[in-house]
């Protein structure tokens, strides 16, 4: 009886009905590590080997070449290295090979061309080099060929004449050059064609079979294509993504009336247009694309006016780039109908007339660039409705009047740039002190008058201030002494008088005063004093009147001051001696941060794959990644810059972590601030990876699908006590051993991470605050972040009642 009982298959294993041999091995997404065992080659009946979305490293075992019945080989999203085994060609039944998102090196084996049944070949996001093998022309059943994000070189060989079933060709982000084989253009079955970020040259025939109703994605951006856009593009009625930016295309844009499904369309940085009146007639064709979200036609030669039909573009349009063309006339009022717009760039044209007040209806707008035009009139007061606006560029126009007071309602404004206009009047303190969000403020070359507001001292994040070539008068505001981050300060060409404020003397060792050439005060004839590098005359002080204190009283005051000074000196020396070891330890722990680009982070996280997502919060998401071919595991926190507080969180965390080191603080390895491949701002922080997750996951384990009867993981009392001590040590260091005390403001179990030894590390300093006293011009403590502290679940009561943050909160 026992001998006839059927064998129950283990989880992840599939067995044949006849011979009870293993035919399928599915161990996907189980966080498996180590190397793939060569003994897998003994499973001679295996048809499916699925190990994707794990952390396997080392080489692909060549013993897999013995699996002659193998049909599906799925090893993507791991950390595999070495070369692709050439003897995979012995697996003659293979239908699908996916080795993407690994660290494979070497060339693509010529032998793969013998796999006559192969339908899918995916080798993207690796470190493969060399050319595309000519033998791949024999894969007549191939449907998907994906080799993006490698280091492939040379020209694309003509392998496509026999590959009639291809639906996807992806060679983006390589170093391919030369011409495209003409046979590609006749593949009418293509759904996706991706060739961006290479060095491909050539022109397009006027009639391309590739532009068929089945084509959904076509991207040739950042290459060296020339000639005109073929008129047959109108046949691609299913096209959703059309990217042609960064080439040398010229001529007229053909009709796009049939492209109803278009969502992203970019012609940026070409030579399209003639400068004539009808260059933008294709804009009206795009009004039929009801899902259009991105439209980029900037950096071309388009002329004429921006047509009124612009108002009828998709209500989903979020990004509209028209800068650097030869457009003239007034801006259409109907732009205000595009209520989903987030970025609107109209700079470097010849637009005239007044700025339409209807732009104030674009309440989702966070970037508005109208610079370098011939716009006149006043800045619309309706701009005060743009509550999410972070960047406003109005440079080089003919604008008049004053900056409207309503702009004080734009509390997220980081960049206000209005130089070289005819603006006038007295700058309101409400505009200058609207919030601490300003990073860049340029009011230069206008006709502003009166004193410059003292409220400038509230701009604690200000890095660039230019108020030169105006008619400001009075004293230079002493509040500037609080702007310790300023790196460039220009005040020349005004009527400032009296002495340089003493409050600025405290900045000499920081910011702008480390480089006197970054500061200019010339042209203010009545200024005196200040740094020697400013070459200003000495201030003439009036002699004090005779009389005053008696000789006896002066003697008593002198003795008292001497005793008080001695007490302070003794206290200072004592603290220096006590804290010297702490400071020495801190300074010795400083180290250089590794340099990481957007591309390296993209590869490290497998294209920010959802399989590597380990957490998400209000300001961004955290991904697991691998560097140095899988030898170093990192955690990458990618900021969601659409969130209005994300940029502040990034700066606050960088400021808090750059000079602190402690065994119970999460170690920051690097930071990355730049743009991604779509030209969007990108900010990320890179940390040491904590393999045991957060304390919250151990205190409140979530039930998983298919949970076994085994008891969930838990913490012993000794472990809980040790973790509590770890957190206390971290807080003691932050509160009492840092040169400037730091208050975390968001300490909770999910922000306490555990390494492989279950040692607690405090992380997430996005709401941290420095307890640094400001000068008298500003009250309270200087903070690296604003707003309510803490998160949902618990916030210290004193924060909600408006009291100051302190170390016992």
Catalytic residue numbers, as ranges: 746
Give the other-Cβ count within 10 Å of 715's Cβ: 15
Compute φ and ψ for 154, nearest 5 degrees: 80, -175
Cα separation, 522 vs 245, whole angstroms: 44
DSSP 601-638: HHHHTTTT-GGGEEEE-SSEEEEEEEETTTTEEEEEEE
- The C-alpha angle with vertex 53 and arms to 50 and 58, in degrees rounded to 5, equals 85
Measured between alpha carbons, how far is 76 from 60 in angstroms, rounded to an integer? 11
Q: How far apart are CA 773 and CA 595, in angstroms?
A: 34
> Hey, CA dihedral for 730, 735, 741, 747, is it positive or negative?
positive
Q: Strand ranges (DSSP E) for 374-514?
A: 374-378, 391-393, 398-401, 415-417, 422-426, 440-442, 447-450, 464-466, 471-474, 488-490, 495-499
Distance from the first to the final alpha carbon of the chain? 70
Residue position matching structure tokens 């008619």: 471
Structure tokens at 325: 């063309």
Query: What is the full DSSP assignment across 518-576?
Result: GEE-TT-TEEE-S-GGG-PPPPPPPPPPS--S-HHHHHHHHHHHHHHHHHHHHHHHHHH
Q: 90 near 68, Cβ under 8 Å?
A: yes
Q: Which residues contact 734 (CB under 8 A, 6 or more apart)?
A: 660, 665, 741, 742, 743, 744, 762
Is 488 known to sit in a ligand binding site?
A: no
Are the C-beta atoms of 609 and 101 separated by less than 8 Å? yes
Residues in contact with 228: Cβ distance below 8 Å, sequence separation at least 6, in sequence order: 203, 204, 249, 250, 251, 252
List alpha helices for 146-303, DSSP H.
Answer: 282-285
- Cα 302 to Cα 297, 345, 626: the distances in Å are 8, 15, 45
Per the DSSP assignment, residues forming a β-bridge with 142 are none
What CA–CA distance (Å, rounded) separates 283 from 90? 54
Q: How far apart are CA 513 and CA 520, in angstroms?
A: 11
Segments in 55-138 forming alpha helices (H): none
Q: How far apart are CA 532 and CA 513, in angstroms?
A: 12
Query: What six digits make up the tokens of 596?
Result: 């990481």
Contact indicator for 43, 20 with CB cutoff of 8 Å: no
Residues 169 and 192 sit within 8 Å (Cβ to Cβ)? yes
Of the candidates 472, 407, 463, the residue with the CA atom closest to the CA atom of residue 443: 472
Cβ–Cβ contacts within 10 Å for residue 210, how many? 23
| Alpha-carbon gap, residue 147 to 267, rounded angstroms | 25
Q: For residue 267, what is the DSSP state?
A: -
Q: Burial level of 803, CB count in 10 A (0-12/13-18/19+)? A: exposed
Give phi and psi for 417, each to the nearest 5.
-125, 110
Which two tokens mark 669? 């390895």
**Binding residue positions for ATP:** 637
**Binding residue positions:** 637
């Amino acid at each position: 009886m026992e001998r006839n009982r059927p064998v129950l298959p283990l989880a992840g294993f599939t067995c044949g009905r006849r011979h009870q041999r293993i035919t399928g091995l599915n161990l996907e997404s189980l966080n498996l590590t180590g190397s793939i065992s060569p003994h897998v080659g003994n499973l001679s009946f295996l048809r499916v080997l699925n190990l994707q979305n794990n952390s396997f490293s080392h080489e692909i075992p060549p013993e897999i070449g013995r699996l002659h019945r193998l049909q599906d080989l799925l090893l993507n999203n791991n950390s595999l290295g070495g070369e692709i085994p050439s003897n995979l060609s012995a697996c003659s039944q293979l239908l699908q090979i996916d080795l993407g998102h690994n660290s494979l090196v070497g060339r693509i084996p010529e032998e793969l061309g013998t796999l006559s049944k192969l339908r899918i070949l995916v080798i993207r996001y690796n470190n493969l080099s060399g050319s595309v093998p000519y033998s791949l022309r024999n894969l007549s059943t191939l449907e998907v060929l994906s080799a993006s994000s490698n280091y492939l070189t040379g020209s694309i060989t003509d392998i496509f004449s026999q590959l009639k079933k291809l639906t996807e060709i992806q060679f983006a982000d390589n170093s391919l050059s030369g011409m495209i084989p003409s046979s590609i253009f006749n593949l009418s079955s293509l759904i996706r064609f991706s060739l961006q970020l290479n060095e491909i040259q050539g022109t397009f025939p006027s009639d391309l079979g590739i532009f068929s109703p089945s084509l959904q994605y076509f991207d040739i951006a950042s290459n060296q294509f020339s000639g005109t856009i073929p008129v047959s593009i109108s046949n691609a009625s299913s096209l959703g993504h059309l990217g042609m930016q960064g080439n040398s295309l010229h001529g007229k844009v053909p009709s796009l009336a049939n492209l109803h499904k278009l969502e992203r369309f970019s012609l940026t940085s070409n030579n399209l247009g003639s400068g004539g009146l009808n260059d933008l007639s294709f804009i009206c064709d795009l009004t039929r694309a009801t899902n259009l979200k991105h439209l980029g036609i900037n950096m071309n030669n388009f002329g004429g006016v921006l047509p009124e039909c612009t108002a009828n573009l998709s209500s989903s349009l979020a990004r509209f780039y028209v800068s650097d063309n030869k457009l003239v006339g007034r801006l259409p009022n109907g732009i205000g109908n595009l209520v989903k717009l987030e970025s609107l760039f109209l700079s470097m044209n010849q637009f005239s007339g007044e700025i339409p007040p209807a732009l104030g209806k674009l309440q989702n707008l966070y970037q508005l660039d109208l610079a370098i035009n011939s716009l006149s009139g006043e800045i619309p007061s309706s701009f005060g409705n743009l509550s999410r606006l972070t960047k406003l560029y109005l440079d080089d126009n003919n604008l008049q009047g004053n900056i409207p007071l309503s702009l004080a309602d734009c509390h997220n404004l980081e960049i206000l740039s209005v130089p070289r206009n005819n603006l006038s009047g007295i700058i309101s303190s409400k505009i200058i002190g609207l919030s601490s969000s300003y990073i860049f403020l340029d009011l230069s070359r206008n006709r502003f008058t009166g004193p410059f507001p003292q409220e400038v001292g509230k701009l604690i994040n200000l890095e660039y201030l230019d108020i030169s070539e105006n008619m400001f008068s009075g004293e230079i505001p002493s509040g500037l002494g609080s702007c310790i981050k300023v790196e460039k300060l220009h005040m020349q060409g005004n009527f400032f008088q009296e002495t340089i404020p003493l409050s600025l003397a405290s900045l000499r060792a920081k910011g702008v005063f480390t480089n006197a050439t970054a500061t200019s005060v010339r042209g203010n004839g009545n200024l005196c004093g200040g740094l020697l590098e400013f070459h200003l005359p000495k201030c003439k002080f009036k002699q004090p009147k005779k009389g005053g204190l008696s000789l006896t009283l002066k003697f008593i005051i002198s003795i008292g001051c001497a005793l008080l000074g001695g007490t302070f000196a003794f206290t200072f020396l004592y603290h220096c001696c006590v804290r010297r070891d702490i400071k020495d330890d801190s300074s010795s722990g400083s180290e250089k941060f590794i340099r990481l680009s957007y591309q390296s982070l993209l590869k490290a996280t497998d294209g920010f794959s959802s399989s590597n997502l380990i957490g998400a919060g209000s300001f961004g998401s955290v991904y697991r990644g691998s560097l140095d071919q899988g030898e170093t595991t990192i955690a990458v926190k990618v900021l969601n810059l659409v969130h209005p507080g994300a940029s502040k969180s990034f700066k606050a965390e960088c400021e808090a972590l750059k000079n602190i080191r402690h065994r119970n603080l999460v170690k920051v390895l690097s930071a990355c601030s730049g743009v991604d491949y779509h030209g969007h701002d990108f900010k990320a922080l890179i940390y040491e990876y904590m393999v045991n997750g957060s304390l919250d996951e151990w205190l409140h384990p979530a039930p998983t699908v298919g949970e076994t009867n085994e008891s969930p993981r838990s913490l012993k009392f000794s472990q809980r006590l040790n973790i509590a001590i770890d957190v206390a040590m971290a807080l003691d260091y932050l509160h009492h051993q840092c040169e400037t005390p730091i208050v975390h403001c968001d300490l909770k179990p999910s922000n306490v991470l555990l390494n492989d030894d279950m040692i607690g590390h405090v992380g997430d300093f996005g709401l941290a605050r420095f307890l640094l006293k400001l000068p008298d011009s500003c009250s309270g403590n200087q903070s690296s972040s604003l707003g309510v502290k803490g998160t949902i679940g618990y916030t210290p009561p004193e924060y909600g009642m408006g009291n100051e943050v302190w170390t016992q909160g």
